[in-house]
Structure 1
């Protein structure tokens, strides 16, 4: 989800409103602690009309990326929200876009206990050099908290400057947009994972050449992210043809397959209930055409 979703009043995900998701996530995994001692924001679980309503009302955040204000702000049932002043708010919202992206990252990362171990390496999202040493979501959360808390990074010998804080906020925004529900549209081709692939192999160091004329059947995955049942929908031209579906985890291991020699309909039902939470690649090949790949996210309630 994006910070725009967490600030919505009518939007829903799997039947739950933003406030309900904030409430449930805080109750299950709270408190939410952003920053470091001396420059932090702590949000404790409380009734849905208190701190969840506060976070919902402060999103989406605006304003220049910045560290958290000095001091340790604690929100609870007796102190529902941040002060209504220029230090914490701008036009009624969080005064810094980075704060909103940090809240979003915490919420997304705590919706599932396994999400923190997901790697950030993916060709569709260009990771800035600032984050070269950060490899997974948990590391990104730690880096973001240090940036918010005014940490002096040993590699820099200083705190992040305003420009670097802006780069971090931009990357978080791109990451949240990329994983937002059904927006995982970055496709790329795999040749070596299917039979009858073009000649050559990466292992032998030979370049794999694609045919001069390429016809690719696109497909959709709904829902995405998913808990259990999901459907792969191909175009009508795929009906009657051989279809292979291979799903692999972030380590390249194939964890789920489906093969049909004569596709009866556009929809191929799949079941992810036995898959651990994580990021997966769905490879679909129709007849002898080049396979295409899309990313899916499996989360657990």
Structure 2
């Protein structure tokens, strides 16, 4: 097992290096530069050139990339040109909100998908299976940002059941019970919006696994020996069908990255996703490159976790 893990980590290293190069080149390919639109247009063009020279914006891309990587190893992600503060501090203030949103979304995904998948698989070709399958088809066809807007309009503006922006109500003291309830209240609607769409893949996968497992020889043998139907499902079918779901934990985690970017913007939730979109529109390259690199590394690590968990569940896939 440890050999598989080490090899998988070694494969991950060149992926991260390639990711960093691509992220940097794509950021440099964006129109304008960090000074575009942020300085009074009446400023002398010669002064702008002096600033670009001082900031290294006129250096060749590979020189800028090497300097950027050196700073990364020293924990320096640069300074935000919009917020005039270190990127590490800026991201540090947002990453906690995104973490809690992702965690609650992931919890809701499993709380919704596992029961629905089990019910749909056990009672397949019945009216309840058709209803659950219809829900998954609608979920597959519905863009997350459209669904988020509908949820915000209906539950936020029309019914007024949830806040329509922010991460906590103003004026509350951190650490108090009211503060905690306010944080949860601001998290529920965006997390539920993500979960109701992201859960459909897991529901379909679990349903198909249960239907397929019911036809296996060991299930037929258990029934032939007189095992009760509840024992067959609880001890054999469900156990074998749920194991692969655990292996998709890492992929579920990485799938949340794209979801939180749009949901945070729609709900005005101050997380990394909202910061990412705002940084793109303002050409804040240091923030953009840092966040894309962070998202990319999280995706690679999530895939690594899934491979490791899957190798524990099914040793046949391990690299020899």
Instruction: Work out which structure has the larger RCO, using CA pairs closer than 8 Å and 6 or more positions apart in sequence.
Output: 2
Please state which band the TM-score falls in when normalised by the shorter chain: under 0.3
Whichever structure has more helix as a proportion of its residues is 2
Whichever structure has more strand as a proportion of its residues is 1
- Per the normalisation by structure 2, the TM-score is 0.25
Which structure has the bigger radius of gyration?
2
